Amino acid sequence: MPAGSTNASATWSGGFGADAVSTDFSLAPYPGLRPFRAEEADIYFGRETQTDALLDRLARTRFLAVVGPSGCGKSSLVRAGMIASLQTGFMAAAGADWRIADLRPGDRPMARLARALRQFIPSATAELAATEALPLIEATLRRGPLGLVEWLRDVGLPPATNLLLLVDQFEEIFRYREKGDRDEADAFVALLLASAAQRDLPIYIVITMRSDFLGDCALFSGLPEAINDSQYLTPRLTREQCRLAITGPAKVFGGTVEPALVNRLLNDFGPDPDQLPLLQHALMRMWDRAGRRPHPAAPGDSAAIGLADYENTGGLTRAMSDHADEVLAELAPPQRAIAEVMFRRLTERGVGRRDTRAPARLSDVAAVAGVAVDSVYPVVEAFRRPDRSFVTPPVGIALGPDTLLDIGHESLIRQWRSLGEWVDRETRSAALYQRLALTARLWVANDAALWRNPDLERALKWQQEERPSAAWAARYGSVGDFEQAIAFLQRSEASWRDEQQGTLEATRRQREQEIALQTQAAAQQKLRAENEALRSRKRFLSALAVLLPLAIGAAAWAAWQMSVAVEQARIAAAATQRAEHEANRVRTLLDRLTNSEAIKRAFLAEDAEAISRYAAATPSGDGIGFGARGATLDWKTGAGKNLYQYELYPLPTALRGPLRSATRMSYFMNHPSFDQKVINAGPGNGFTGIYTGWGCLSKVYVLVEYADADRLPEVYWYDMCAKVAER
């Protein structure tokens, strides 16, 4: 097919017998993140050879599987390449009269197929089509593998007319088979295979699928054999084909791409399949920038994009991520929170970090975010604008609670840094919840025990940070599972608190008994000393009365005896004082033991008021010795602020001195921009806490825990910004 050829497509809007020729053309040279459409064949360059190969295979087998890695351009090749060529008559044996039914399996493949076929009902039954057609079509399709053939016979297929059924994103059927209705998934695939195999009606089946799902095709009977006979592995663009894809569309619209930019793009275009959507997105952004510049002064001058536009958009590596961050920054803070929930809900991580789309209804997103559906609409609109296409459905399709939302292109999951972080966070959150739910089920069956630290501590922190709800958990199980898991967690926390209270009470009783015994022993020792002194005095008086003549000689002995008695009394008094001192020390220790759990709980719960109160009771950490440093990273926030990697740490002199027996340190950053306010650090890295952000804090709180059982946790604070400035 010639590059840039026009597309005359026939539709079924007037029924099988009334063809309406479309003369639609592209409205811009570069579609951006979304795939090319069939009517954009005039700007689709560089795939002519591959289009011819698709036509040859389709003519031979009537079943065509177009496979390749995500981002390689499968959907665009089929629509703007193959379908546009079919409608122009380039598959001569079949003719140029084609009816196209385009769908994705999604969450109900049979219903989606019925919806794609509804447009083909003759106009005489239009009223029926609007009300009762869908259930009737779906019922016919479900009769068996030849349900589509039966339906076409019922409605009538005009002579010399072909039906092409395009199932885009075919890998969705594997997810539906696993998490939806296995029987419906099997029936849907059987219908596709049987429709392509029969020869009574000209039905052609085309599927597009990610190549990393090829192994999953063995789940369906007959599908591996069909794919082996018809598979087309989408090749990469050559350098010359890529050059045509860059320069051709601009020429169609009377513009140019500077040669220096073309060479830069070709050199930056790497082997990663994501480079193709990144290239289209960057070209769209540059063209938009050029369109906003003043018009050329000289008549006949054409719009041009150059290296300056390329640098200003962030290049191939950053254009998409920076653009998505800009959209996010346009939203109000509550809307940003909804956006995070939406994108976390619309992505799913499989085995081996195989990130895929996970379409969800708009009402589901609202329920997980805990907001009304009306609050989600402006967020979706911001991300689905034609110059963005980060979310589908596209502009023009009305939004409602049942609207199925989806990621515009899977490359966004891999290339948008913020979304990558959200996916990681969702994955960790889901893994912890699923382990919690499993343990809860085992506990109910008496096959597991309640959680203790560190599992309990991690789960409580997860609950504090993520605030999970039944709507969120429905993605990973039933509402009953969630309620059971939360009940198990609450029971674990209550049991742990009871144990801690019991331990404290037992320690208190033991200490009180020790104090009582020590006080009793001191009193007995004092009594013995007083008795001994009294007996000595009595002996002295008796001796003085009987042996008066010897009194002078015995004076020295009596004085010595008296000194012994005095010494005994002094020893008894000292013992009493020591016992009282030990009692006071134990009481203080008990109070600190009681407070230590409260201090740890304050850090775990990120209770800023309590942490500040505990820190006020201790001197500033400046006297102990803490430091901080920051290093600039090579990217910015959506608001254009430079990002830094900060490190918080105790000085070596502190580790050799007042902090020498420390076993763990927790840094608390009380700022609303921090998702993770507490960073834990151990001796392995010198108790260094690391975080990424755009600024430092004037007050950082540090919880220090010690190996010495008699030394309880301490809370310090210090001015992080001052320490960074000192370096």
Tell me the C-alpha distance between 62 and 56, whole Å.
10
Per-residue model confidence (pLDDT) at position 675: 64
Contact 37, 7 (CB under 8 A): no
- For 206, the token pair is 């085309």
Contact 392, 357 (CB under 8 A): no
Mean pLDDT of 87-93: 89
The architecture in CATH of the region 9-233 reads 3-Layer(aba) Sandwich (3.40)
Mean pLDDT of 524-543: 69
Mean pLDDT of 252-257: 92
Per-residue pLDDT of 260-286, as tens digits, reads 999 999 998 877 777 888 999 999 999
Mean pLDDT of 402-420: 91
HEC sequence for 342-387: HHHHCEEECCCCCEEECCEEHHHHHHHHCCCHHHHHHHHHHHHCCC
In sequence order, which residues have a C-beta less than 8 Å from that of residue 305 and are 6 or more positions away? 250, 255, 256, 257, 258, 261, 283, 286, 287, 289, 290
Q: Taking 60 as the threshold, does the pLDDT of residue 51 lie above it?
A: yes
Expressed in angstroms, the distance from the first to the final Cα of the chain is 65
Right CATH number for 608-726 from 2.60.40.790, 3.30.70.1230, 3.40.50.720, 2.60.40.1970? 2.60.40.1970
Q: Taking 60 as the threshold, does the pLDDT of residue 17 lie above it?
A: no
Mean pLDDT of 666-676: 77
Q: Taking 50 as the threshold, does the pLDDT of residue 11 lie above it?
A: no
Q: Taking 90 as the threshold, does the pLDDT of residue 146 lie above it?
A: yes
Q: Taking 50 as the threshold, does the pLDDT of residue 454 lie above it?
A: yes
Query: What is the SS3 assignment for 406?
Result: strand
For the ranges 41-45, 115-119, 548-552, 610-614, which has the lowest average pLDDT? 548-552
Query: For the chain, what is the mean pLDDT?
Result: 84
Per-residue model confidence (pLDDT) at position 16: 36
How many CA within 13 A on the CB side of residue 366?
A: 18
Q: Taking 70 as the threshold, does the pLDDT of residue 487 lie above it?
A: yes
Per-residue pLDDT of 680-691, as tens digits, reads 888 888 899 888
Quick one: residue 181, left, alpha or beta (phi over 0 = left, psi -120 to 50 = alpha)? beta
Per-residue pLDDT of 190-238, as tens digits, reads 999 999 999 999 999 999 999 989 999 999 999 999 999 999 999 999 9
Query: What is the SS3 assignment for 710?
Result: coil
State the pLDDT confidence band at 644, using cuts at 50, 70 and 90: confident
Q: Taking 90 as the threshold, does the pLDDT of residue 430 lie above it?
A: yes
Mean pLDDT of 346-353: 77
Per-residue model confidence (pLDDT) at position 6: 31
HEC sequence for 240-285: HHHHHHHHHHHHHCCCEECHHHHHHHHHHCCCCCCHHHHHHHHHHH
Residues shown for the chain: 727
For the ranges 89-93, 208-212, 312-316, 638-642, which has the lowest average pLDDT? 638-642
**Domain 331-415 = CATH 1.10.10:** yes
Give which of 94, 588, 33, 640 is closest to 326, Cα–Cα: 640
Contact 315, 268 (CB under 8 A): yes
Tell me the C-alpha distance between 424 and 353, whole Å.
10
Contact 431, 393 (CB under 8 A): no
Tell me the C-alpha distance between 485 and 437, whole Å.
5
Give which of 30, 693, 32 is closest to 323, Cα–Cα: 32
Q: Which helix (H) or strand (E) holds 319?
A: helix 315-330
Letter string b/e over residues 99-114, b meaning 16 or more CB atoms within 10 A of that residue's CB = bbbbbbbbbbbbbbbb
Q: Which residues pair with 406 in a beta bridge?
A: 392
Tell me the C-alpha distance between 262 and 105, whole Å.
38
Q: Taking 90 as the threshold, does the pLDDT of residue 592 lie above it?
A: no
Q: Which helix (H) or strand (E) holds 650?
A: strand 642-650
- The DSSP result for 20-64, as a single string, is EEE----SSS--TTSPPPGGGGGG--S-HHHHHHHHHHHHHHSEE
State the pLDDT confidence band at 547, using cuts at 50, 70 and 90: low
